[in-house]
Amino acid sequence: MKRKVFIGSIILLVFFSLLRISSAVIAAPVTQVQQFNTPTPGSDGRIIYIVKANDTCSLISILTGVSVDLIRQMNKLGDNCIVFEGQELIIGVGGPPQATATLPIFTQEPTSIIPSATPFFGNAQLCVAVYLDVNGDGLRQANIDQFDAYVLEGTEPTIEGGAVSLSGLTGVYSATLDTLTGLDPVCFTDVPEGKYTVSAAVPDGFNPTTDTSFELQLKPGDLAYVSFGAQSKGQGSQVNGSGSQSPLLGVLGALLLLGGVGIGIYAFRSRR
């Protein structure tokens, strides 16, 4: 009898250990990311990030708030976005110290704003792309050549049949453009300074993969770029959220729980 009690105690201890392990697997803590302070623009207006050991484009994007797509475009990186320690990456363009024109702020998903490399005065320009989000990641993959022109291979194309609208929150300006097929966005030109809402209506037969409305501030001389993604309704999204848990870990935790329950039942019957 004492031997059965001893064996039952050991089995129960193993059961609770398995239960604790499975809980840790299912509720793994989120990795904390160090804070990044945006450096001051250099004399030429460029904002530079120095690549550190073990840096990747994804990590740099998290640290700086600049999307991987923009990092690739501004630094002419390939599809794999490979960087090396000590490399200087352009993560933005600010006005030189003597310039008075201000520039847009980088945002992450669902849109991107690219400031003009050469600040100028006058009204702003906003270019908007409604693109076919092939991989459903909410970021437009794009390749450009040495003249900053889009390259067909590796660039997610724009979609025709939709519409984009730009409306001033003060009611001073309002315009709508039809989306076109190809690679280049459609552009609102000669836009007065102010705060605006830019929105997109995707074509019939498509579902949006990003938010379809975005607010931004345009100032004199700004050149801004906003992108909205969409997928065909027959194409499932391939995106896994950064906070989602791996299905494999969940299955492993469930198996550990079932094993623990079985051991507990065996221990109970052994004590009878």
pLDDT tens, 127-180? 999 999 988 888 888 888 777 788 888 899 999 999 999 999 887 899 999 999
Q: How far apart are the first and last CA of the chain?
A: 9
When the candidates are 2.40.50.140, 3.40.710.10, 3.20.20.70, 2.60.40.10, the CATH number that belongs to 46-232 is 2.60.40.10
Cβ neighbours around 25 below 10 Å, total: 18
Task: Indicate the helix (H) or strand (E) that contains 74.
Answer: helix 68-75
pLDDT tens, 43-94? 666 788 889 998 888 888 888 888 888 888 888 887 788 888 889 888 877 5
Sequence-ordered list of residues with C-beta below 8 angstroms from that of 33, at least 6 positions apart, any chain: 59, 62, 63
For residue 15, pLDDT over 50 is answered with yes
**pTM score of the predicted model:** 0.47
Q: What is the reported pLDDT for 73?
A: 83
Sequence-ordered list of residues with C-beta below 8 angstroms from that of 161, at least 6 positions apart, any chain: 178, 179, 203, 204
What are the domain boundaries of the chain? 2-28+245-271, 46-232
Which has the minimum average pLDDT: 105-109, 196-200, 231-235?
A: 105-109
For residue 40, pLDDT over 60 is answered with yes
Share of the chain above pLDDT 70, in %: 58
Query: Between these two residues, 258 and 53, which has the higher pLDDT value?
Result: 53
Q: What is the mean pLDDT of residues 36-43?
A: 62
> What does the alpha-carbon distance between residue 270 and residue 76 come to, in Å, rounded to a whole number?
69
Exposed/middle/buried for residue 202 (C-beta within 10 Å: 0-12, 13-18, 19+): buried
